[in-house]
Structure 1
Amino acid sequence: MSTILLVEDEPQTREILSSYLQKDGYHVCEAKTGNEALELATAVKPACIILDLMLPDLGGEEVCREIRRHSRVPILMLTAKSGESDRVHGLEIGADDYLVKPFSPRELVARVRAVMRRAGDYLSLADEVQIGQLSVSMSEKRIRKQGVLLDVTPNEFRLLTTLIRHPGRTWSREELVTEVLGYDFDGYDRTIDTHVKNLRQKIEDDPKHPVYIKTVYGFGYRLESPELG
């Protein structure tokens, strides 16, 4: 039975979400504050964290940053902020998905399943994957090029590992939004282009003539490397 850490200060919301998660077969640990969440994240080692941004002590963003210093546990953020910039910021600091209030408890359970499935997909790969000059560590969530550690964001790491799982497959932008960013947002699929551009700047010798991530014009992207192993 997987353990979910539910961080929510509103008692009624916490009770409802906990009930739905338990019905879906999860063991739920509850935290009402950011400090309590950090303590439980270390002690319990949950399979997934549901993290409300508005907490009475530490903000959810600060909690997320602190957890990301030592853990890659999937984090699903809950917030009343619906702006595009808020979504981007939450994902960039390390969240795996972003759910805007109000939402249905059934949708939350589905999102939890999805982020845990994606995390499982990454773990199913060999711990160390070599692709050309790149070395990708699944356990460390790090990418090195010719032994030099690259400064990549969580989204850039998820983008590369998503492509690595299916080398040669062409992914549409919409598919990559779902796999990498973890949510659907009308008109937002082009944000993948920005992530690809930024990742190419870090992994390619010549970003304008990429070797690893190829553009399939009018559709999306694919990983192209016969050296993957």
Structure 2
Amino acid sequence: MLNQLRRESFDMLIIDWQVPDLSGADVLLWAREKLPPVLPVLFMTSRSGEDDIVAGLAAGADDYMIKPIRRGELVARVQALLRRAYPTQNTIEQIQFSQYIFEPRTGRLLANGELIELTQKEFDLALLLFRNLGRPLSRAYILEAVWSRDVEIPSRTMDTHVSRVRTKLKLRPEHGFRLAPVYSYGYRLEQVAS
């Protein structure tokens, strides 16, 4: 984990008190010494004593949760910490491609001003295709980009998602776009004259 923290940047850390090799408190102290001070840290533990809570907060945690963790509360605390740490990023980012407006933070997609209902994977796939407009994308690249933690999915899963994206976004030449297979390689989204 420390090696990963040295190489990459993160928006937030959620640290458990019990981590392999070091204690979560040691990881937290290291993070506070080496990483940007604005980085929010949520500390989790099954220790519920007042001394433990004080020790976690004194080590530099911004918030503290006691196990068992309730999902809704975790999401609310994470969102609150991110709002406080990055107040200027609370505006909704929009990425526009012709009549399609993507909102990556909310997972919303508008086409001609109307909301298109997509699953998260469909949204991720559509955004990936639009960000690579005109470029053929290999099946392996799409799998890694959209299904990164589950690369053992059946190949038909990708084809099904591509088909759904094509249908829901009306990616046909009469609407200015064509989503086509690239034989023995992958897929390409192209902009065409309508």
Interval containing the TM-score (normalised by the shorter chain): 0.5 to 0.7
TM-score (norm 1): 0.49
SS in 1 for 2:165: helix
What is the CA distance between 1:212 and its match in structure 2? 3.8
Matched, 1:3 2:3: no
Q: Counterpart of 2:151 in structure 1: which amino acid?
A: F
Rg comparison, structure with higher value: 2
TM-score (norm 2): 0.56
CA distance in 2: counterparts of 1:38 and 1:15, whole angstroms: 30
What is the CA distance between 1:206 and its match in structure 2? 4.9
Distance 1:210 1:196, change over 3 A: farther
* Number of equivalent positions: 145
Return the match for 2:164 from 198, 203, 208. 198
2:146 match: 180
Unmatched runs of 5 consecutive residues or more in structure 1: 48-122
Matched, 1:157 2:123: yes
CA displacement 1:71-110 (0-9 Å, x = unmatched):
xxxxxxxxxxxxxxxxxxxxxxxxxxxxxxxxxxxxxxxx
Matched, 1:219 2:185: yes
1:42 match: 76
CA RMSD, aligned part only?
A: 3.9
CA distance in 1: counterparts of 2:152 and 2:138, whole angstroms: 14
1:29 match: 43
Of the structure 1 ranges 153-162 and 181-190, higher mean CA displacement relative to structure 2 is found in: 181-190
Could you say which structure has the greater relative contact order, defined with CA pairs below 8 angstroms and 6 or more residues apart?
A: 1
CA displacement 1:10-61 (0-9 Å, x = unmatched):
x7568979579756768442242242x43243234367xxxxxxxxxxxxxx
Percent of residue pairs bearing the same amino acid type: 27
CA distance in 1: counterparts of 2:101 and 2:69, whole angstroms: 35
CA distance in 1: counterparts of 2:24 and 2:130, whole angstroms: 35
Q: Counterpart of 2:12 in structure 1: which amino acid?
A: T
Unmatched runs of 5 consecutive residues or more in structure 2: 1-9, 45-64, 83-88
